Chains A and B, each alone.
Chain A
Amino acid sequence: MVTTAPTRPGVRDGAAPVRHADPRRKVGMTFYLLLVPSLVLFTLAITVPAIMGITLSFTNSVGFGEFEFTGFTNYVALFSDPAILSSYGFTIGFALVTVLLVNIIAFLLAVGLTSKIRAKIALRTVFVLPMVISGIIIAYVFNFLFSNSVPQLGQAWGIEPLSQSLLADPDLAWTTIVVVTAWQAIPSALLIYIAGILSIPGEVYEAAAMDGASAGRRLRSITLPLVSGYVVINMVIGFKNFLNAYDIIVGLTNGGPGTATRSVAMTIFSGFTGGDYAYQMANATIFFLIAVVLAVTQLRLTRGKAAF
């Protein structure tokens, strides 16, 4: 935009006499042509499947052939199905733990990365790197590390729970998913915190330092309150993303051992093969409603943030 600025006066000098007719009215067609392809494709690819899914959730369809409407039967069954309830329990619990871990680490890293450190750019580049690596592939790598290297370390250091593969432990397998998800999700939370911290005027810190506030005190009394809006945004975005957990779980435990780490997304996808297509559509609809609630929360929070 900087480069085009000098040409502006030239263009204006050559301008035709002012016409008062709204120029937009005349060329409006082009605007419609620019927008309509996106709307049509979007409707076919997103809206139609969404409506189809919600409609089928009220039927007994198995994914093909004939079906009849069965009202809320699927929904009633969902709420008393231990497999579904445990997948929600696991997914929500995993998302809560991960979101806390991600935000604590990302915040501390952001504080470090905005302080007067050396090699700042190089370190930022490194800490953002996990974001660009495919979830399934890094999960395969960690799968190998958790089943080989971690047990070796556990044996060498005499730590009992680590001396066997965490992936095979029904009570602890979820921790591996938290670790790998956090590894990949920290960068985006970190970048948002960095932006938040950089938006605090430097004078605030200078004044505090002049009044003799220690670094810890400045962190607690200035940084933390002033980035609280970003904390909330990160929490909501993170929680929403972690609820969709799929790739990393497939690469690490594939829902096992048993069904200990089956996420909601994995249960929904079982509708392809399990013959309970409509039933999983109902599951997906419930899942969608949870996503809508979170989305509305996010919008309200971000709108609130833009206000100050």
Chain B
Amino acid sequence: MTAQTLLTTTPGQVPVRRRRWFSRTGRGGDEHPNWPGTIALLVCSLAVFAPLYATLTMAFKTTQQSVDGRVFSLPSPLSVDGFVEAWRLTDFPRGFGISVFVTAVTVFGTVVLASFAAYAIARNWDRPFFRGAFFYLLAAMFLPFPVLALSQVKLTGMVGLANPVGVAILHVMFQLSFSVMLFTAFIRGLPEELEESARLDGASTWAVFRRIVFPMMAPMSATVAIFAFLASWNDFMMPSLITADSTLQTLPVLQSVFQTQFSSNYNVAFASYLMAMAPAIVVYLFTQRWVMSGVTQGAIK
């Protein structure tokens, strides 16, 4: 990882990428649409849809219909009993509230801490302390959670953080590497003249960051925020191990209730799964551009 490899997302690249993602036909124009390819991909997309379709239809079935063995049949009659029951069984408002809390703290904490750190690092890259800090923070990207889990569970328990607050802090820490890397690369691509002239006008470093750099980083903040959101909202491993009190669990962990005691009420289980996964799908549909570019930038740097 040299300085060279970090010079990645220059501002000039962004419009090009945007045009590519949204062009309807890509390179080569419109003349000869590849119909066999289109049809083959549509058939392949059934593999994505099948489990989601099953979840959706099962969730709206009555309990009797949900156990008849025909998973892919349409619900008849359409029933929301499953949702009502799932709402009650998992105490959905509380689980949802805790998931929202953990996710919100993670997103906010990640964007703030990572952008702060990345700005300091990128603008002092010539100083060993800041460059060293960069590689130090990056190291966690290669540190699998299972390796740290036993100690982290013990430590969070000792300092009274065996709860959603502790989970959120750890989520931020595990997002930090990837996010600092993205932000640092982005800031190094920003022109420095603007900041320097503002500083010559008497603006403090903080004011420069707050008024100039942070607003310019908005596209990267969006990417970082969405990845923090997805990682935190969907995580099962960390909350299940860290949070001691089962009434303070996040939505993914709460779903385990259907693996045991209510295992025959499939409509209830699927309604609950649907309610837990829906927010991530909705956010994705509105933010897919940043999701897609984030994966690429994270991997190729």
Contacts and interface: CB of A to CB of B under 8 A. Distances in A.
Indicate, yes or no, whether A interacts with B: yes
A89 B15 CA distance: 47
Contacts, number: 325
Given A27-B205, A34-B120, A136 B236 contact: yes
Interface string A166-193: 0000000000000000010001100110
Interface string B102-124: 00000000000110110111011
A30 B145 CA distance: 32
A32 B150 contact: no
Interface string B138-154: 00111111111111111
A258 B121 CA distance: 50
A230 B26 CA distance: 21
Contacts of A27: 199, 204-205
A121 B22 contact: yes
Interface in A203-249: 230, 233-234, 237, 240, 243-244, 246-247
Interface in A39-74: 39, 41-42, 45-46, 48-50, 52-53, 56, 63
A120 B24 contact: yes
A128 interface: yes
A82 interface: no
Given A116-B34, A269-B146, A135 B234 contact: yes
A120 B152 contact: no
B284 A129 contact: yes
Q: How large is the interface on B (under 10, 10 to 19, 20 to 34, 35 or more residues)?
A: 35 or more
Given A11-B194, A39-B137, A144-B266, A132 B130 contact: no
Interface string B252-289: 11011011000000100110010011001101110010
A124 to B, nearest CB: 7
A260 interface: no
A202 B28 CA distance: 8
Contacts of B55: 141
A76 interface: no
A95 interface: no
A234 B57 CA distance: 35
A24 B52 CA distance: 54
Interface in B1-51: 1-2, 4-5, 11, 14-15, 20-29, 32-35, 37-38, 40-42, 44-45, 47-51
A56 B255 CA distance: 34
Nearest to A138: B51
B34 A46 contact: no
Contacts of A75: none
Contacts of A11: 194, 197-198, 201
Contact of A38 (B117, B194, B288): B117
B269 A140 contact: yes
Contacts of A295: 141-142
A18 B197 CA distance: 10
B233 interface: yes
B252 A136 contact: yes
B202 interface: yes
Contacts of B54: 141, 144-145, 149
Contacts of A250: 236
A1 B147 CA distance: 41
A126 B49 contact: yes
A192 B293 CA distance: 9
A233 B296 CA distance: 11
Interface stretch (A96-104, A157-165, A278-286): A278-286
B25 to A, nearest CB: 6
Contact of A16 (B37, B52, B72, B202): B202
Contacts of A53: 147-148, 150-151
A116 B37 CA distance: 8
Nearest to B237: A246
Nearest to B169: A45
Interface of A: 1-2, 4, 7-8, 11-12, 14-16, 18-19, 23-24, 27-28, 30-32, 34-35, 37-39, 41-42, 45-46, 48-50, 52-53, 56, 63, 109, 112-121, 123-138, 140-142, 144-145, 148-149, 152, 183, 187-188, 191-192, 194-195, 198, 202, 230, 233-234, 237, 240, 243-244, 246-247, 250, 264-265, 268-269, 271-272, 277, 280-281, 284-285, 287-288, 291-292, 294-295, 298-299, 302-303, 305-306
Given A8-B194, A45-B169, A138-B51, 4 more contacts: A132-B291, A135-B234, A191-B292, A287-B147
Q: Which 4 A-B pairs have the closest CB atoms?
A: A295-B142, A49-B151, A134-B234, A30-B205
